[in-house]
Amino acid sequence: MISQLKAAATRPEAKVPAIQMEAPAARVNFADALKGALDSVASAQQTSADLGKRFTMGDDSVSLSDVMVASQKAGIQFQATVQVRNKLVSSYHEIMNMQV
C-alpha cells in the first residue's frame, strides 16, 4: 500500500490541489472611514431638517411619513455615532491606564 502511494505521488500527472485563496481585503484608512461616517450622519440630519422645513412650509410633495422616516433615520445614525464615540473614548482610557 505504501509503495502504491509513493508511485502515485511520483507520477507526473499527480498535482497538488490548488488552494483557493480569497483576494486580500483592500486597506481602509481609519480617518477616511470615520470622516465618511460622520459626513453620512450630517447629511441625514440635513435631509431630515430640510424635509421638516418643507413640510412645515406646506410643500405638497413632502408627506408627514417622509419627514418622520427621515427624522428616525437621522436619529438612529446619530445614536450609533455616539455609541461608537463612547467605545473609542473608553478604549482610549483603557489603553492609557495599562501598565507598561
All three cell numbers of 95, joined, read: 489603553
Q: Report the distance separating Cα 80 and Cα 41, nearest Å.
A: 10
pTM for this predicted structure: 0.65
Q: Which three cell numbers stand for residue 2?
A: 505504501
What single string gives the DSSP state of each residue in 47-96?
A: HHHHHHHHHHHT-TTS-HHHHHHHHHHHHHHHHHHHHHHHHHHHHHHHHH
Residue 9, pLDDT score? 66
Positions in the chain whose pLDDT score sits under 70: 5, 8-20
Give the pLDDT score at 14: 46
Q: What is the pLDDT of residue 4?
A: 72
pLDDT at 17: 55
pLDDT reported for residue 44: 96
